[in-house]
Chains A and B, each alone.
Chain A
């Protein structure tokens, strides 16, 4: 019996009882749909978080004072006798791997302009800031390349601050008061939106040294180093390390490559995605049990037919293959159905529910399809073996 005939024979067996076939396939379909839908949401979240994280560029190393990092945050940035200084940042720029550096300080302050006031996060940044973090200016310019130790008192507004304080009028040239100090507005940043909960447009950027004055601080919180993309990370880290140790006399700082944080994040999210897929897998498991049950019933029902096939000269192997093919075809159909349902719901969610990141990972989809084929095979094994091992004499005696 060649393959096409076997396939046809199996399909006829399935179409003979359409409701039953449909219900069994539904069990598998629901399971596969659940797995695909959930992993789509998982993948969507992973991509969203990673893209938020990496939108600023990945070839960045953050230097923070002190050698302690608690869960990503740097305590040294909050309080430390050891200081990271503007001079440190300038020294780091001399490394041959470094493209841009940014000396960073931040805090919360009240800003005033045009008779309006607002409490915002104020960042002290260097002129290279837009280059390091892939940010761009929409009006005017960013802070000019003054001497980092004595910069002019210019300010760049975040998009939201501009609208809140200046409405539609041109803010360039206006005076902005930050705390007790006065700055002249020379630019507005392009809107960036929210990143992981923080509103990046509700901010003001002033030169780092001026910010240190405003917040009455001596040391920087962070130095961001953007290195040449083709440079090997280890070489860059070593070079930066060398420069700073030479200046400080010891290792009283921490170097954290963005890549490192990214890979940790990706690993965590991968585990999450897998866990979520397993959640959907529970329904699939139950669907598989359903398939085994139905195949078992099918064999019981068709005992006489199996005896007949043997009498007509079918080998045991052929009978085994027939039933395996039936269960595999059934499971694959269910899997395809589930695939369509799952991806459709995922797409609908993406279109109609804004804010929910959904992205269908095609490797998981193919995996799900392969899984349903495997389920068909596995579910059919025992019933197929039972069918093949039936004694034809007894089988034929069954009415």
Chain B
């Protein structure tokens, strides 16, 4: 039998059992659609997190006081206290390194903002002017520490704070108080929303020395550094380490983290998670395969006279095998295509419902899903089609 005839005959057989073929196609489609949609979800989550993390800076390196014996998180560093301070001088030393494009010392804390008869606790960032470009923040209006005015009591308000405290007038030029200290508003941040759990619309930025005096500390919370280029990040990290070790009398009491490394960790974890989810969804494809095998076995016992007849008129075992194999292939193909379309449609709905989540099924998942589905269908047909091929034509025709 020619390939063409095999395909046509098998297609006719499949379409003649309408309901059962439809149900098989449905089963397979569900499995493929699940794989497509779930990987879209997983990959969307991965890209969301990576995007969020990339948006907070470029070629970013963070130096924090304290170090753990074993790598990994340690509570001391997150709280940022050590006997020996990370100082402004340390920051300046680091800032002069050739691999460093920009640097910003950082102190954080909480203080009460009072202005225009309003009171509210706000998050305070103390730093230099470079903090704003390093952290990819934008000044919507005004400036911060421009023209070497490093020692005046300037403050930048987050967009929402400016709106909250000065809804009708411009915030710029207004005088406000942080706890008991007076500051002059010189800039307003552009509306940015929440990123990485940090909402920049409700923070204020003041010069680092004022922050240190406000919180009564001489120690820095972090030093943020922007390396000159991506390729220089590693050498920057080493240079920073050596500089600070020397500055701290040979003690290695700081931890240096690169944005790259963190990003990579997130990327890897979420990728693995997506893979696991896809794998679990793919189990359903195995179940669909069992269904195909089951139905084919039933079909063969029902169509025994037909098979006997085919053999009687000259079909050989290989022809019969190919015929049933083709039927399984048609069913798998239809299920795969419909499942793919369903999955893509579902991903589209996801993207519309959650625009921040770029839910696109990655190519590897789609290809893998299709291949697994097709292989399942093919494997499922092996037993039935060899059974059909081995039928004795005399017995087959004699059966009622």
Contacts and interface: CB of A to CB of B under 8 A. Distances in A.
Contact of B82 (A215, A285, A287, A294): A215
Contact of A75 (B20, B74, B85, B108): B108
A212 to B, nearest CB: 10
B107 A290 contact: no
Contact of A217 (B67, B70, B217, B284): B217
B72 interface: yes
A24 B179 CA distance: 72
B253 A110 contact: yes
B23 A289 contact: yes
A66 B123 CA distance: 9
B81 A119 contact: no
B78 A73 contact: yes
B45 interface: no
A20 B383 CA distance: 13
Interface in A77-96: 77-82
Contact of B283 (A218, A283, A290, A399): A283
Given A105-B81, A107-B81, A283-B287, A81 B281 contact: no
A78 B109 contact: yes
Interface string B115-134: 00000011110000000000
B68 interface: yes
Interface residues of A, number: 67
A341 to B, nearest CB: 12
Interface in A1-53: 17, 19-20, 23-24, 26-27, 30-31, 34, 38
A178 B288 CA distance: 65
Main secondary structure of the interface of A (DSSP, over half): mixed
B75 interface: yes
A72 B68 CA distance: 22
A214 interface: yes
A80 B109 contact: yes
B72 to A, nearest CB: 7
Given A108-B66, A119-B253, A197-B73, A215 B108 contact: no
A146 interface: no
Interface in A52-86: 65-68, 70-71, 73, 75-82
B31 interface: yes
A297 interface: yes
B197 A296 contact: no
A23 B19 contact: no
Given A66-B121, A202-B69, A216-B219, A290 B83 contact: no
B8 to A, nearest CB: 24
Given A78-B80, A108-B65, A198-B74, A293 B107 contact: no
B298 interface: yes
A167 interface: no
Given A27-B291, A282-B284, A75 B110 contact: yes
Interface string A314-331: 000000000000000000
Contacts of B328: none
Contacts of B334: none
Nearest to A198: B75
B77 interface: yes
Contacts of A197: 72-73
B320 interface: no
Contacts of A119: 66-69, 253
Contacts of B211: 79
Given A68-B110, A294-B295, A289 B30 contact: yes
Nearest to A197: B73
Contact of A30 (B82, B219, B286): B286
Contacts of B294: 20, 23-24, 27, 290, 294
Contact of A283 (B24, B214, B284, B400): B284
A108 B67 contact: yes
B392 interface: no
Given A81-B179, A293-B295, A297-B20, A38 B280 contact: yes
Among B179, B281, B284, B293, the one with the most A-chain Cβ atoms within 10 Å of its Cβ is B284
B281 to A, nearest CB: 6
A252 interface: yes
B254 to A, nearest CB: 10
17 contacts: A23-B291, A27-B291, A31-B287, A78-B221, A79-B124, A107-B76, A107-B82, A108-B66, A108-B77, A119-B66, A120-B69, A178-B83, A179-B84, A221-B79, A252-B112, A282-B283, A289-B23
Nearest 8 Cβ contacts at the A-B interface: A79-B109, A108-B66, A108-B76, A179-B83, A107-B81, A66-B110, A79-B215, A290-B291
Interface of B: 19-20, 23-24, 26-27, 30-31, 34, 38, 65-70, 72-85, 107-112, 121-124, 179, 197-198, 211, 214-219, 221, 251, 253, 277, 280-281, 283-284, 286-288, 290-291, 293-295, 297-298, 302, 400
Interface of A: 17, 19-20, 23-24, 26-27, 30-31, 34, 38, 65-68, 70-71, 73, 75-82, 105-110, 118-122, 178-180, 197-199, 202, 214-218, 221, 252, 279-280, 282-283, 285-287, 289-290, 292-294, 296-297, 301, 399
